[in-house]
Structure 1
């Protein structure tokens, strides 16, 4: 509850700070606001509270997911120092929108009522539509924002229709009330057609938000067209909040009809893993590869949801943290590499726009020789995303695979392991380019605080890979 209030007030305060002629205060003020929200988030650890007439739940699990999105936001904002140097950027508005979007993410994490879920989804989604198109001079960014808005609005309509059908079937928007109806109706053997249709429409709307196939089609173009800073935010915070919401829905409301929906979710999981990993192999752009990588990691997180159990909660939380750390570090290095290369004129239909065309693998050729720190940070990130031992990503996959194994979904694990092997190929392409190929990369100057964030993300990735038990307990 406190983080929601603090972030809302902080966002308004940042808008007022934007009227100042100097932009120097915006970045430290935003970092301070996010840090305060992070600290206050854990003040009630070990306790459970309900707010807004029992529409919002705060417990240990909600605090952990909220902590992950706040930590991710802190790191993303810390990498945004270049916004102050861009005369056409509006950092006050960007930071305010980020904080407002966090309010929506926290609502999605702790909702106890479907109305609260809808409000959270809309707050987060509208903010992301704006940030995706924030580079107004770039036609790719404009196209990405328009695609994201149109497809997101359509998915939101499906989500809302599903909620209406669930209310019509159960007479309740409360998660526990829906769950009680599912158990009672199943035991009574009555018709549940309306309930099942509403359930699937609700899940389709949420699966769109987390980029699960076949609802992933917006992801590559949106991730590629959006500014890299906001792509990093979108691929971490939005995905973490979406899976936290899915976990709550499936655990509280739909666990009583697990035998009905798990096959459909398993099919979506397999499709997501296949499309995400195989399509990533053919990409030449690093950003598009990371977009399909995001789709594939949605598949791995879905593996944990298919094996729905108490272990799934810890597995999904750990995986979300490991994925967020690695992704933010990878995008941090990408932004430095791209920033040190010139803008080129790119044909876009019948118009021309300035864009960075060196976001492909060749841009990383020889990076580790002139910039050993950046090379090491990127290498650890790629190893973690690939699930190599001694990194956090390995234990994340191990935990979600274990949760599915407990349910006996061995065939699903076989597919997941095979796709993990495919993932090693395209992640290692970046490592090979940095360490084993000649390039024209010069030494890149890295701001001290920027460097600290990259080092912190790398150290946490290795620390959780060596000591995964640090994250266990309390859920």
Structure 2
């Protein structure tokens, strides 16, 4: 797994660059590292599936596609962090290094073949995010978010570890292939295996903000610096769903009849909690937190179905969701900075976008496309993401779940359009926002990607 090695070594290089008097090298160096790792990730695309690190990590087109999504998302997010360098109180070298190291954990989660490697990956990713969430030390909201994230994450990790121990006790192995062999041979696996699987799923569903394990999400997303909220809502969620898919499809497809109903109930709860609660939010950032929960529900729908279409559907949906989310938060950061008031009551409310379309047509257009994609409107990547997810559920015959998901999608249109209405139909005092050429390029690129995959969805879907 070349990306893991490169991220570990080059992450240290970026850290030591922090000792230089000039901080201007940090951003281009970090972007160069991510570009190198992204290229290296796809070097073995056409090779046969392989095992690495004593058969603890697995690599095939699926793992490379998901790793590519998280690395590319990290590149886009880091490209929006120019403020780190300008802020004298910030420590950009530490931030960038933690982001690179967290990617090591994400790649491990995506390609794990052994439950121990899954645990190591989750902890590397989680500990990095605990620190980054509380990086705004002078902000009480950031401190509170970090504490809540840490405490609830610790409980979830304990439950997950206990589940892994039970699975080992039942099967005698941490290896996914060995566990699958045990499940296939034993027509009636022990109760220990069932309980272990449920506890492991609870720990992992916490990471992706699935209900009823989602209560930490609004406060943590709301309190964390917006750039790290973007990171959490895209990379952490993508890696989490890749890991759950690897677990269920790689080891437990033989006992589908046992776990599918549990996952179906959690899916419905997630869809209801995310979409209905998002309607009542007055803060755009908090709405995006509940939006993140709702999108976890759509991805869980495809996981519950676990058909031949599920793999490509999850890959496509994850990319579409990540790109649209980065676009939306990218515009929010610019608008919040322009208001000059970084408080919950002003900078992050929907009213902050009032009049955006008049003085800043490009930013308004980027925001509009991202909202349309998240809502699943045709001609955007988000539409096809939901279509593929719904198709996988239809193949399995989960009609009742499909009806709920479609109804919740219509609810989503309401709260996503609140930002569009504010940008074009409300009067505001927002002036022309100065956007650096590179920042502008990133926002244009994410918008183009969203539209291109909305027009040509089969290009990506056919790759995996």
TM category (shorter chain) comes to: over 0.9
1:253 aligns with 2:251: yes
Shift of 1:56: 0.2
Shift of 1:474: 3.6
Structure 2 distance, partners of 1:57, 1:184, is: 23
Aligned to 1:343: 341
Aligned to 2:446: 457
Shift of 1:310: 2.2
Structure 1 distance, partners of 2:345, 2:34, is: 31
Which segments of 5 or more consecutive residues in structure 1 lack a partner in the other structure?
345-353
Within 5 Å, give how 1:348-363 maps onto structure 2.
Answer: 357-363=346-352
Q: Which runs of 4+ in 1 moved over 6 A?
A: none
Within 5 Å, give how 1:11-410 maps onto structure 2.
Answer: 11-47=11-47, 48-186=49-187, 189=188, 192-343=190-341, 357-410=346-399
1:444 aligns with 2:453: no
Structure 2 distance, partners of 1:415, 1:473, is: 28
In structure 1, which of residues 408, 414, 417 is the aligned counterpart of residue 403 of structure 2? 414
In structure 2, which of residues 406, 416, 434 is the aligned counterpart of residue 427 of structure 1? 416
Shift of 1:49: 1.5
Shift of 1:76: 0.2
**Superposition RMSD in Å:** 0.9
Map Cα deviations across residues 310-364 of structure 1 (whole Å, 9 max, x no partner): 21000000000000000000000000000111236xxxxxxxxx76732100000
Shift of 1:19: 0.3
| Preserved contact between residue 283 and residue 344 of structure 2 (Cα < 8 Å) | no
Map Cα deviations across residues 20-79 of structure 1 (whole Å, 9 max, x no partner): 110000000000000000001000012221111100001100000000001100000000
Shift of 1:470: 1.2
Structure 2 distance, partners of 1:182, 1:404, is: 24
| Preserved contact between residue 132 and residue 222 of structure 1 (Cα < 8 Å) | yes
Aligned length, in residue pairs: 463
Which segments of 5 or more consecutive residues in structure 2 lack a partner in the other structure?
none
SS in 1 for 2:58: strand
| Preserved contact between residue 138 and residue 355 of structure 1 (Cα < 8 Å) | no
| Preserved contact between residue 299 and residue 389 of structure 2 (Cα < 8 Å) | yes
SS in 2 for 1:462: helix
Structure 1 distance, partners of 2:461, 2:214, is: 32
Map Cα deviations across residues 251-289 of structure 1 (whole Å, 9 max, x no partner): 011100001110010000000000000000000000100
